[in-house]
């Protein structure tokens, strides 16, 4: 198997491992904050062991901002998954590019194009559909928290872009450490069962720790377009696994909204790359 084929396989494996997080969180019977705290403590330890000798922690504003954004992403995602359907939690998190497009002109001095505004309008329309379904009080709050997940993801992305030599590992480890510290007070209220501990170990070591090591290896050997397309497996398989393993079925309007959001996010990532590739090919033909 070639190195490129291995990268495709490992990126797909990463997406599937990440997609299993919704089901694992649903099956762990414990406080959401306690779950995310233990998961992050195990993940931080795993990543430090995997990347030992190669880590360069700093105290820059953008690295700390990325860590705080990642911690917010971790905490709100677990809380949202517990309070609403796993499909709603993961799909609303994928609205992050909306906030990136809105904040990039101010934070990164990157201009938002007309096509970006169209993308924002379509994605917001998809978000609205999640709230059309009949929701319980907790489900409504779960959806609102899931929107906060997307915003936290955007902060993480913006701060990572602002780093000149962006390496996600240090910021991710710092984010996990912040999350573990925030979850610590909630770990003493009750004790999880043996089955829940197995779920926590899987979430921390494999779903968050080892999967990131696979991602960082594969992303260096794949094009941006390939990575974007492969990673759409996560929001697709997350609700499927939860439906099969937990019996949770998202509402019809949430499914429609999910297709709209994923379609818009994928198109925004794919179309610029296709245009760039077309321009490069035309330039090559002129040179010949």
Per-residue pLDDT tens digits for 29-56: 999 999 999 999 999 999 999 998 888 8
Residue 224 confidence (pLDDT) above 70: no
49: its two tokens = 């062991």
In this predicted structure, what is the pLDDT of residue 145?
95
Cα separation, 126 vs 257, in Å, equals 4
Contact 234, 19 (CB under 8 A): yes
Question: Looking at per-residue confidence, does 211 or 274 come out higher?
Answer: 211
Q: Under a CB-based contact definition with an 8 Å cutoff, are residues 213 and 53 in contact? A: no
What's the domain range around 243? Answer: 3-287
Task: Extract the runs of DSSP E, i.e. beta strands, from 164-280.
Answer: none
Six-digit token pair at 239? 């609700």
**End-to-end alpha-carbon separation of the chain, Å?**
33
Q: According to the model, what pLDDT value does residue 245 have?
A: 94
Please report which confidence band the pLDDT of residue 167 belongs to, taking 50, 70 and 90 as the band edges. Answer: low
What does the block give as tokens for 285?
Answer: 């033909």
Total domain count for the chain?
Answer: 1
Q: If phi over 0 gives left and psi between -120 and 50 gives alpha, with beta otherwise, what is residue 222?
A: beta
pLDDT, the chain, mean: 88
Buried b (16+ CB within 10 A) or exposed e, 192-225: beeebeebbebbbbbbbbbbbbbbbebbebbeeb
Closest CA to 92 of 50, 124, 138, 68: 124
Count of CB atoms situated within 10 Å of the CB of 244: 11
Q: Residues 152-174: what's their mean pLDDT? A: 82
Q: What percent of the chain has pLDDT over 70?
A: 97
**Is the CB of residue 254 less than 8 Å from the CB of residue 87?**
yes
What's the pLDDT score for residue 137? 78
Q: Judge whether residue 226 has pLDDT over 80.
A: no
Comparing 218 with 178, which gets the higher pLDDT? 178
Among 76-85, 141-150, 167-176, the minimum mean pLDDT is found in 167-176
* Residue 225: predicted pLDDT: 65
54 or 166: whose pLDDT is higher? 54
- From CA 284, how far away is CA 288, in angstroms rounded? 6
Spatial CB neighbours of 49, under 8 Å, sequence gap ≥ 6 = none
**Nearest in space to 162 (alpha carbons), one of 65, 269, 59, 272:** 65
SS3 85: coil
The better pLDDT of the pair 191, 200 is held by 200
Distance, CA of 154 to CA of 152 (rounded, Å) = 5
Q: Tokens in use for 50? A: 């995997």
């Amino acid at each position: 198997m070639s190195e490129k084929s291995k990268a495709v396989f490992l990126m797909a494996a990463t997406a599937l491992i990440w997609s299993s997080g919704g089901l694992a969180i649903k099956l762990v019977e414990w406080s959401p904050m306690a779950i995310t705290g233990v998961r992050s403590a195990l993940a931080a330890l795993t990543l430090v062991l995997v990347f030992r000798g190669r880590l360069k922690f700093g105290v820059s504003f953008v690295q700390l901002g990325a860590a705080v954004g990642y911690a917010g992403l971790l905490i709100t995602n677990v809380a949202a998954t517990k309070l609403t359907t796993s499909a709603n939690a993961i799909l609303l998190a994928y609205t992050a590019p909306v906030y990136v497009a809105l904040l990039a002109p101010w934070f990164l001095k990157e201009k938002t194009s007309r096509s970006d505004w169209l993308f924002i309008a379509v994605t917001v329309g998809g978000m609205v559909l999640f709230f059309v379904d009949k929701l319980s009080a907790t489900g409504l709050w779960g959806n609102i928290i899931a929107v906060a997940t997307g915003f936290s993801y955007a902060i993480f992305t913006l701060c990572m872009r602002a780093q000149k030599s962006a390496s996600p590992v240090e910021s991710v480890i710092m984010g996990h450490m912040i999350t573990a510290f925030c979850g610590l007070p909630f770990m003493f209220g009750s004790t999880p069962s043996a089955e829940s501990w197995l779920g926590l170990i899987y979430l921390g070591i494999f779903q968050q720790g080892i999967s990131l090591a696979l991602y960082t290896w594969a992303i260096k050997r794949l094009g941006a377009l390939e990575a974007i397309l492969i990673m759409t497996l996560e929001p697709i398989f997350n609700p499927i696994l939860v439906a099969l393993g937990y019996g949770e079925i998202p509402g019809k309007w949430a499914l429609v909204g999910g297709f709209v959001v994923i379609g818009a996010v994928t198109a925004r990532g794919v179309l610029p790359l296709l245009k760039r590739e077309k321009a490069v090919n035309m330039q090559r033909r002129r040179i010949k």
